[in-house]
Amino acid sequence: MYKLIYFIGIFLLAVFSGNIETFAADHEATLDSGDTAWIISASALVLFMTVPGLALFYGGLVNSKNVVSALMHCFAICCLASVLWLFGAYSLSFADGGELNKYIGSLEKFLFNNVEWNALSGTIPENLFFVFQMTFAIITPALMVGAYVERIKFSAVLLISAIWLFVVYAPVTHWVWGGGWLADLGVLDFAGGLVVHTTAGVSALVIAIMLGNRDEFPNNVQPPHNPGLVMVGAAMLWVGWFGFNGGSALAANANAGMAILVTHIAAATASLTWMAIEWFKNGKPGLVGIVTGTIAGLATITPASGFVDPKSAFIIGLLAGSICYYFSVLIKQTFNIDDSLDVFAVHGIGGMLGTLLVGFLANEAIGGTAGSSQQAQIQIIGIISVAAFSLIATFVIVKITELTVGLRVSRKDSQEGLDITTHGERGYHL
């Protein structure tokens, strides 16, 4: 009763003082249990994407003597990124950066300091926002694993991932989602076409080039040792992507529902498109091909998922399945670059393509911004700036790693397999 009287009193005071907007804003900034429950679920789904989803997807694609290595990379990066997110990466991404606020955050929230336990971020607790964004920070460097499997030192994986999280991921996250200069410019990236897929894809390509090709590449590369494992991992990624894109609405509302709907349509369409092209070219529809198309569709719809309708999602899926397929062939066969598991073609090209397409296809009734040539120009600025920054920064990071712990395992170790030579374990005892 007292709370009701207090609420009415504050409301009347706001009306008569002309501050009804302030009252509404204050009222909106209260915890919403529905939004909170959904983001808790979405956070679990995104973590599910990395371990086990991405780990099994990559594990099935490599040679059987390197399956433990691929799984270890994904799992170790998950643990490492989680700790580093607490030790400053979150703060650099989302805290107020003072004079440098448009380019990088501050260390104000280092170790989650200066944050009340019940502080809110919108309508959810900030500690939950921390967790949700942490799952993005986990999967992004883990995506890069696919470019360097079967030949990189484990120590190099850890060092590159650690430095990269601070030098590349945190600044770009701040630019786009932390109130930085790209956000001010009006760039549209609902769930990570720039922040996740462009950064990871471009950086993965740089690492693959600097690391060098596998000894067997391109003529004697073994096919994926377990297509069934690949499909299981891809299916987990597909399910987890509902949290990735739907959770980026940061609310349990129609926007989240539409993001999930268009995510599914784009993934299904891209899967069929990739399968059809492969069927036509090779005479047989492959399981690995169709699920690779799934991931291409998911990556491409990611930046657009909160801004487009199902018709546009179908178009995005068609383009994702065909253009990403083309680049997967181009990178390996024309440019002779051993991006082992097509990280740049699927995630880099997919993320950039989706970021560009949202400039034309955004539906004002859904995302609040109508697609236009002007918006497309803003999207292109975002793509070029993030891709160039990722390329240059990753080059420097890899050079530092090469000069400290080294990059590549010996030829003997790669021939015997990283499972036993690096980790002392085997994936299979047959």
Domain ranges (residues) in the chain: 1-30, 36-422
Residues 36-422: name the CATH superfamily: Ammonium transporter AmtB like domains (1.10.3430.10)
Helix, strand, coil percent content, the chain, rounded in steps of 5:
75, 0, 25
Gap between the Cα atoms of 3 and 22, Å rounded: 19
Gap between the Cα atoms of 77 and 85, Å rounded: 12
Task: Find the DSSP H helices in 124-282.
Answer: 126-143, 145-148, 154-164, 170-177, 181-185, 199-211, 227-246, 254-282
pLDDT of residue 26: 43
pLDDT of residue 370: 74
Burial of 15 (0-12, 13-18, 19+ CB in 10 A): exposed
Which among 344, 248, 343 is positioned nearest to 305, based on CA atoms?
248
Token reading at 181: 């200069």
The per-residue DSSP string of 357-385 comes to: HHHHH--HHHHS----HHHHHHHHHHHHH
Which among 133, 238, 198, 248 is positioned nearest to 356, based on CA atoms?
198
pLDDT of residue 88: 97
pLDDT of residue 165: 98
pLDDT of residue 333: 95
- In the chain, the amino acid numbered 175 is W
Which among 82, 89, 78, 192 is positioned nearest to 145, based on CA atoms?
78
Rounded to the nearest 5 degrees, what angle is found at the Cα of 258, between the Cα atoms of 257 and 262? 125
Write out the H or E segment, with its range, that includes residue 309.
none
Quickly count: other Cβ atoms within 10 Å of residue 113's Cβ.
Answer: 9
- In the chain, the amino acid numbered 181 is W
- Residue positions counted in the chain: 430
β partners of residue 107:
none
Instruction: Write the CB contacts of 414 (distance below 8 Å, at least 6 apart in sequence).
Output: 150, 151, 214, 215
pLDDT of residue 15: 38
Question: Which 3 state secondary structure label does DSSP give 203?
Answer: helix
| Count of helix runs (H) and strand runs (E) in the chain | 22, 2
- The position carrying tokens 């990269």 is 164
pLDDT of residue 99: 77
**Ordered per-residue pLDDT tens for the chain, 430 residues:** 444 444 444 444 443 344 434 334 444 569 999 999 999 999 999 999 999 999 999 999 999 999 999 999 999 999 999 999 999 999 999 999 877 889 999 999 999 999 999 999 999 999 999 999 999 999 999 999 999 999 999 999 999 999 999 999 999 999 999 999 999 999 999 999 999 999 999 999 999 999 999 999 998 999 999 999 999 999 999 999 999 999 999 999 999 999 999 999 999 999 999 999 999 999 999 999 999 999 999 999 999 999 999 999 999 999 999 999 999 999 999 999 999 999 999 999 999 999 999 999 999 888 767 768 899 999 999 999 999 999 999 999 999 999 999 999 999 999 999 999 999 999 998 7
Question: Which 3 state secondary structure label does DSSP give 407?
Answer: coil
pTM of the shown model: 0.92
Gap between the Cα atoms of 210 and 148, Å rounded: 10
pLDDT of residue 127: 97
Which among 381, 387, 385, 371 is positioned nearest to 187, based on CA atoms?
381
Question: Which 3 state secondary structure label does DSSP give 125?
Answer: strand
Which among 347, 320, 343, 321 is positioned nearest to 332, based on CA atoms?
343
pLDDT of residue 25: 43
Q: What is the DSSP letter of 197?
A: I
8 A C-beta contact, residue 188 and residue 207: no
Q: What is the DSSP letter of 118?
A: T
Instruction: Write the CB contacts of 423 (distance below 8 Å, at least 6 apart in sequence).
Output: 68, 69, 72, 154
Q: What is the largest CA-CA distance in the chain?
A: 80
